[in-house]
């Protein structure tokens, strides 16, 4: 594989675009010929748009699963709210949940950026 060295700002913009398109850090690294940890550093250095969730960080997408159990009441409420014809939540409700999750993700990313050590200047 032949790789060309991109200027850092162009590389970071390319990494951000590929991540926003849903590629994992490893997939981006393979495509650009850089290490997946460099991809992660570039993503920390370039903020994601407020309305775009971060993409997956490595490997293939896994079967969706919840990290925390849902309360029986929440399960009942979601079952009542779903559209019986499609089995999906109404669009306004799904959008509200998605927007709340994106706000939380943005707060996590801000905290990660604040905790990341400053990169030494390039000479």
What pLDDT score does 62 carry?
58
Q: How far apart are CA 71 and CA 77, in angstroms?
A: 10
What pLDDT score does 1 carry?
47
What pLDDT score does 78 carry?
83
Q: Are 48 and 16 in contact (CB under 8 A)?
A: yes
Q: Are 36 and 58 in contact (CB under 8 A)?
A: yes
What pLDDT score does 80 carry?
87
Residues 14-36 have pLDDT tens digits of 998 888 888 899 999 999 999 99
Q: How far is CA 18 from the centre of its chain?
A: 11
Distances from the Cα of 50 to the Cαs of 20, 23, 32, 39, 101, in angstroms? 11, 18, 25, 19, 11
The closest of 85, 27, 35 to 56, measured between CA atoms, is: 27
DSSP 63: P
Take residue 116 and report the two structure tokens written for it: 């990341």
What is the model's pTM?
A: 0.40
What pLDDT score does 65 carry?
65
Q: How far apart are CA 105 and CA 121, in angstroms?
A: 28
- Residues of the chain whose pLDDT is less than 70? 1-4, 48-65, 118-123
What pLDDT score does 11 carry?
92
């Amino acid at each position: 594989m032949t790789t060309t060295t991109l200027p850092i700002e162009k590389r970071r913009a390319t990494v951000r675009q590929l991540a926003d398109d849903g590629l994992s850090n490893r997939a981006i690294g393979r495509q650009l010929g850089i290490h997946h940890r460099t991809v992660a550093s570039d993503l920390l250095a370039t903020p994601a748009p407020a309305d775009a969730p971060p993409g997956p960080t490595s490997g293939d997408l896994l079967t969706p699963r919840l990290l925390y159990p849902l309360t029986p009441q929440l399960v009942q409420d979601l079952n009542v709210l779903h559209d019986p014809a499609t089995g999906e939540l109404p669009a306004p409700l799904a959008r509200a949940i998605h927007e709340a999750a994106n706000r939380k993700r943005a707060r996590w990313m801000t905290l990660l950026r604040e905790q990341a050590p400053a990169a030494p200047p390039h000479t």
